[in-house]
Amino acid sequence: MSFKRMWALFVARNFEFIRDRAGFGWNILFPFLIVAGFGVIFSTDSSSEFKMGVFPVNPDKMTVMALKIPEKLKTDDHIKIVLFETFDEAIDKLLHHKIDILLEDKGPKLRYWISDSSPKGWVMEKVAKEAVIPEDIFASRVIKQQIKGEQIRYIDWLFPGILGMNIMFSSLFGVGYVIVKYRRNGVLKRLKATPVTAFEYLTAQMISRVMILLSTSFLVWFGCNFLFSFKMQGSYFDAFVIFLAGTICLVSLGLIIACRGTNEELTNGIINFICWPMMFLSEVWFSIEGTSAWVKSVAKVLPLTHFLSATRKIINDGATLSQVSSEIVILVVMSLIFLSIGSIFFSWTR
């Protein structure tokens, strides 16, 4: 093993990535745009989760407070009221799940429509019925308790998932897809004629990609934190260790894809086949709590699941490395397995 050859390959791969300005810029801009978009969507001015349609109303002449619906519905911060002039227009939006409930703005009784296939419609039906019941009836029957401790914003919970997703895509496409392209173009065939070994080449590729991903993730974190002031409950060093372990694991997974194959289209399909289930089952966008047991079992097999679980425990809950030791061990073991498979089956030409 020659460290000099590995260094030369490492430097060459870094220069290649940096010179690709479009790819380099997109690795930074893509997660930033997603976080910024969600930050706007879930800001205090647009935090409504439910949409309630009201007809017949002229949106240009009628204000929300002038509607003849219960006051509770008009002042609820979690309900966005959408005004419609005609019933046909409103019912079409309801059928296509663009609103969750439809109310008629006239008559002594509250007339409403919901879609039986919409879970949000079922919730809004209960809210609409509760709105016509006097508040003093609930006072003697229910007791509201406040949550103790600091509450986590959705954007704080989402941010580690966005970074993990970006690392996943960059690892699999930046290593797996690129090496397959090199094999098809004959670059690896020429390297085979040199003293470079497969171990040296793969190691240089892995270290280069890990360094680049950690650097771009830091830039994205710094930029998004400047705009949204993320709350860091744990240690930055602990977070770095988890990001290092998770990135190495995902890059190692990319080496398995890269070990064989010369068809770029097939490789692209395989990477997407791996990425999309991992993105949904590893809780990038939403929690899978309450899903079937087999879904949770499948999720535990995916490296991104353990990566994001440990990251959120540190960032959102203030956990230490000892408290996420099980996730670290799993990521390290997976990395060794992926590296071994990638090295054993690697081919320069086929």
pLDDT digits (tens, 9 = 90+) for 82-105: 999 899 999 999 998 899 999 998
Q: Angle 329-341-307 (CA atoms, 0-180°, nearest 5)?
A: 30
- Encode pLDDT of 163-177 as tens digits: 888 889 888 887 887
- Domain housing 268: 3-41+153-344
Mean pLDDT, residues 325-331: 94
Higher-pLDDT residue of 178 and 21 is: 178
Q: Give the residue-averaged pLDDT of 285-299.
A: 83
CATH number of residue 119's parent domain:
3.40.190.10
Distances (CA, A) of 38 to 43, 178, 198, 256: 8, 31, 42, 33
Instruction: Say yes or no: 134 and 173 in one domain.
Output: no
Claim to verify: residue 134 and residue 37 sit in the same structural domain? no
**pTM to 2 decimal places:** 0.73
Average pLDDT of the chain? 83
Q: Based on the structure, what is the number of domains in the chain? A: 2
Q: Is residue 197 part of a domain?
A: yes
119/242 same-domain check: no
